Structure 1
Amino acid sequence: MIIDQTERSNASSRRPPHPWAMWPTLSIAGVLTVAHAVMGAFGDYWIDEVYMLAAGRFHPDWGYADQPPLVPMIGAAMDFLAPDSMFVLRLPVALATGATVVLVALLAREFGADRRAQTIAALAGGTGLWANLVGHWLAPYSFEPLLWTALFLPLVRWLRQHSQGVADDRLLLVFGLVLGINLQAKFQVAILCAAMLLSTLVVGPRALLARPKLWAGAGIALVIASPALIWQALHGWPQLEMARVVAAESPILSGGRSGTAVMLLLYSGVLGTALVLIGLWLLLTKTWLRPYRMFALAMIALWIFFVVTAARPYYLIGMYGLPIAAAVVGLQRRRETKPSRWGWAAWPVYAATALAAGGMIFSADAINRGFSTEIIHTHGDRVSDGIARKVSDVYLSLPAEQRSRTAVVGDSYISASMLDIGSRHHPLPEVYSPHRGYGFFGHPDDGVDTIVLFARKADEARPFFTDARLVTDDGDLKVWVLSGRTVPWEQIWPAVTTMQ
């Protein structure tokens, strides 16, 4: 009896998932977690990391101008448990990076991957270039691969079950719960959901949109995200202004739209890039992947959107696991129907992948130190300690009576964060900055008529004071003392606050 290809594909789709490749997956995840945890114990704060810590520790709130509150809350909690411990501060990120490997393997299992294919998916998921660069830095994008992959997992399982006629709609409530957590970490996941919604309308399965529990899950997500969303609404949606800031910085950070277009894919790593491209092609062309086709369309739409809007070149890192999972199953099916005598040829690719990922892990500290030094223009064991000592010396040199009327101002959210963190070891008054998120933390009160300004120049603040004195000149960043405030802070702050 001859069984046609359609029947064979349908029979294959009805098979239960293969056993989980637990030990290979956990081994890869464990090695990756340990590597990031060890590297995280050394070096200085990353520029976004010190802002997360300062925001959560010194300025706790329901929301922030440039991000939701989850990651600052994690930073504050870790710092409360072990102040000044880089290892403890970064441990949640290392664990999240390792956990992503496990979820990518489980995602591949949902597509039908056997133990070997799951292991390859875990290797690819654990060796992405960008993910391994930031895999021990406390920043929102460091958690994004874990959170997006966790978001896909219940949806892919529902789609698999739906194709078999046995879908459990409670998975859609889980999807909504994970979506709410995502929204408390980064708002970009809302763009992902919009892309998936439009893709589902185009290629299906449209039955998904008719499920009441999907929209109940969306309601759960909105409830979880409501504190941050209400904060944004009350403050005029400053997150939208950040999109213009990101576009303006694109030529410097990623070489503009062309650089972003390339890096949006290459950040998935040596093996990952090949599997992402293969997976997208399979999702778009293979009948047995038809229930999941909307993911490929959504990823392509996001790639176009992020290139056109000159977004950050890492905005797709959370989506790599899905086409990787599809690709390893496609290669598995080819292996099952047409065994290759050249399987050994993949080992050099695996080795190159591991070496490239390891290089990114161990280069993270050097990149961090060089980038921070370029921005802050100071050196030392910790940049935050160096600039806090410098500014504290100037502050303490003021007469005691004047110090009682003095605040410290940093010219950027980075320098202000460094000063906030460093103030725990060097005497400083409250720290302010008119830059980005710090501009929303408030301004000095009317009792302050003198500021110690850590900035490249004092041109913007000088018109509001009768005297401006350069006290310390250390390259591009200097320490100024401005005294004799002439107008209320309510007038000064709007004039100097900027998101640029």
Structure 2
Amino acid sequence: MLTAGSVGYGYHRDELYYRMLPPAWGYVDQPPLTPFVARLTTQVSDTVWALRVPATLAAMAAVVVVALLARELGADRSRQTLAAGAYACATLPLMLGHLLLTSTLDLFFLPLLILLSLKAIRSPRWWVATGLVAGLTTYNRWLVAVVGVAAVLGLAVLGPRRVFASVWLWAGGLLALVVALPNLVYQATHDWPQIRMGQALAEDAGEVRVTVLILLVAGVGPLFPLLWRGVVTLAREPRTRYLVVVTVAVYAFTFVAGAQPHYVVVALVVWLTAGVITTSSPRRLWRVAAITGAVSAVLALPVIPVSVVGATPVTKVSSLMPDQVGWPTYVGQVARAYRAAVAADPGAPPPVIITANYGEAGAIDRFGPAHGLPRAYSGHNGLYDVARPSGPARSALLVGDLGPRQLALFAQCRQVGTLDNGVDVDNEEQDQPIRLCTGLRRSWELSWPAFAHLD
């Protein structure tokens, strides 16, 4: 269902960004795994459905992990099935499982890490597998470091402390460090870009904190009452008490740091699973899960036609949906402005195209060749270091929300178009200007730093 629904709207802005990032050990805003997976899918088919096959597989694997986690928590087969079904119907997993984002792979990696740590407490040799997965997870997101530190703290404070006497725990920790080392070396040799990115994200911390609170309820919909039951269940069992510290720490870190709100998915997964398996009315829960699934499908999948979705509350409730609408249309509008600029001054070098953000640059990279457009440049996040303008061109087509600092680099700027998706979906691009700027005052090398921004 997730892959089949890929064609209803279109690429998410992050997906367009990932598919155009060149191979690297890391980027200023994230580790390399998700961009690598995105590029790999283009070798099969450079289409949105192919790019989302790994997302579907990750979501499916996450459902299996939830069933295994329920079993590790003592659930019988029927309640394992109930836990997996309730999780599969929850809003946040369905939203993230529909797209290839870093948080999509988190749906699988982080709950798997929790599952393996639980198994390791019962059978210490599992610490090696836990360390291996922890090391691999750093290539998707460094949030795993928060999970690891919180787990050590939880075990030290709430037990079982006997795990620290096992050589397997230290072997697993060493293995995690060895596997993560190339990723760590990249961070150290590039001035710790993830810290700088975190500081940039913290500028919007207030908005993120509101979203995190909303996700606590909206992330699982009507299943929300089970979350507190899950926390209580974990706290009652000596073997699982440390997970209260882990999950609360992840939630607190997300809230305090103002990080990406999707980080809380690991807490919601564990709380929901623990809550489901202790329910006293499984039949009623199946009905609630079915209702949740129906609502989640409307919010996460292209159930509502794109021609009318802009008139519904879905675009306000689902923060991920609007960013899947309008990209081919926007690129067509940029192409018309570009052709007009070239035709107006055929003897001059054609203008370079510079976009305000990586979604716009990624859209031109994907759909621009069909319109004869050159590559687009952007100073947003990782694209600043990927490529920059050069050569004799003294004019630029500026696309999107670029401000006075960038416009001041040119002698003259005038608006030659407006981005309009044509379906009244309010996203970051809607109603943004397309400007033709001429008379670059300094060289591109000296001008380019003014376009750099992290967010």
Q: Same fold (TM over 0.5)?
A: yes
SS at match of 1:444: coil
Amino acid aligned to 1:124: A
1:202 shift after superposition: 0.9
Q: RMSD in angstroms over aligned alpha carbons? A: 3.0
Q: Deviations over 1:46-96 (max 9, x none)?
A: 1222212222xxx3322111111111111111112112x221111110121
Q: Which residue of 2 aligns with 1:491?
A: 446
Cα distance change, pair 464–259 in 1 and its aligned pair in 2 (3 A): closer
Query: Aligned residues: percent identity?
Result: 27
Cα distance change, pair 384–176 in 1 and its aligned pair in 2 (3 A): farther
2:212 is the alignment partner of 1:260: yes
Cα distance change, pair 371–173 in 1 and its aligned pair in 2 (3 A): closer
Q: Which residue of 1 aligns with 2:243?
A: 295
Q: Does the 8 Å CA contact 1:42/1:86 hold for their aligned counterparts?
A: no
Amino acid aligned to 2:252: I
Among candidates 38, 41, 44, match of residue 75 of structure 1: 38
2:244 is the alignment partner of 1:282: no
SS at match of 1:425: helix
**5 Å matches for 1:420-459?**
420-457=365-402, 459=404
Separation in 1 of the partners of 2:39 and 2:390? 26
Q: Which moved more, 1:192-201 or 1:446-455?
A: 446-455
Cα distance change, pair 279–391 in 1 and its aligned pair in 2 (3 A): same
Q: Does the 8 Å CA contact 2:337/2:416 hold for their aligned counterparts?
A: no
2:98 is the alignment partner of 1:136: yes
Separation in 2 of the partners of 1:179 and 1:360? 32
Q: Which residue of 2 aligns with 1:127?
A: 89
2:176 is the alignment partner of 1:221: yes
Q: Does the 8 Å CA contact 1:101/1:125 hold for their aligned counterparts?
A: yes
Q: Does the 8 Å CA contact 1:199/1:298 hold for their aligned counterparts?
A: yes
Amino acid aligned to 2:84: A
Q: Deviations over 1:391-432 (max 9, x none)?
A: 54346436565336x422101222122222222322222321
2:272 is the alignment partner of 1:324: yes
Cα distance change, pair 198–400 in 1 and its aligned pair in 2 (3 A): farther
Q: Which residue of 1 aligns with 2:299?
A: 360
SS at match of 2:363: helix
Separation in 2 of the partners of 1:359 and 1:373? 10
Q: Does the 8 Å CA contact 1:64/1:228 hold for their aligned counterparts?
A: no
Runs of 4+ in 1 over 6 A off after TM superposition: 368-376
SS at match of 2:382: helix
Q: Deviations over 1:89-129 (max 9, x none)?
A: 11110121121111100111112211111011111221221
Q: Which residue of 1 aligns with 2:348?
A: 402
Separation in 2 of the partners of 1:120 and 1:268? 14
Among candidates 173, 191, 208, match of residue 163 of structure 2: 208
Q: Deviations over 1:365-392 (max 9, x none)?
A: 756799799789xx85734643553454
Separation in 2 of the partners of 1:450 and 1:151? 51
Q: Which residue of 2 aligns with 1:105?
A: 67
Cα distance change, pair 372–448 in 1 and its aligned pair in 2 (3 A): farther
Equivalent pairs, count = 436
Q: Does the 8 Å CA contact 1:276/1:320 hold for their aligned counterparts?
A: yes
Q: Which residue of 1 aligns with 2:202?
A: 247
Cα distance change, pair 86–343 in 1 and its aligned pair in 2 (3 A): closer
Separation in 1 of the partners of 2:81 and 2:418? 55
Separation in 1 of the partners of 2:445 and 2:106? 38
Q: Which residue of 1 aligns with 2:108?
A: 146
Q: Which residue of 2 aligns with 1:15?
A: none
Q: Does the 8 Å CA contact 1:96/1:146 hold for their aligned counterparts?
A: yes
SS at match of 2:370: coil
Q: Which moved more, 1:451-460 or 1:173-182?
A: 451-460
Cα distance change, pair 209–363 in 1 and its aligned pair in 2 (3 A): farther
Q: Which residue of 2 aligns with 1:389?
A: 335
Give TM-score, length-normalised by structure 2: 0.85
1:189 shift after superposition: 1.8
Cα distance change, pair 319–371 in 1 and its aligned pair in 2 (3 A): closer
SS at match of 2:98: coil
Amino acid aligned to 2:332: G
Cα distance change, pair 349–478 in 1 and its aligned pair in 2 (3 A): closer
Separation in 2 of the partners of 1:428 and 1:93? 30
Amino acid aligned to 1:403: P
Separation in 1 of the partners of 2:391 and 2:360? 23
Separation in 1 of the partners of 2:177 and 2:275? 33
Q: Does the 8 Å CA contact 1:52/1:138 hold for their aligned counterparts?
A: no
Q: Which residue of 2 aligns with 1:37?
A: 3
Among candidates 306, 312, 315, match of residue 254 of structure 2: 306
Amino acid aligned to 1:173: V
Q: Does the 8 Å CA contact 1:246/1:310 hold for their aligned counterparts?
A: yes
Cα distance change, pair 429–215 in 1 and its aligned pair in 2 (3 A): farther
Amino acid aligned to 2:9: G
Among candidates 127, 132, 139, match of residue 177 of structure 1: 132
Q: Does the 8 Å CA contact 2:380/2:454 hold for their aligned counterparts?
A: yes
Among candidates 171, 193, 202, match of residue 148 of structure 2: 193
Cα distance change, pair 368–77 in 1 and its aligned pair in 2 (3 A): farther
Q: Deviations over 1:15-64 (max 9, x none)?
A: xxxxxxxxxxxxxxxxxxxx111111332111222212222xxx332211
Cα distance change, pair 199–371 in 1 and its aligned pair in 2 (3 A): closer
Give TM-score, length-normalised by structure 1: 0.78
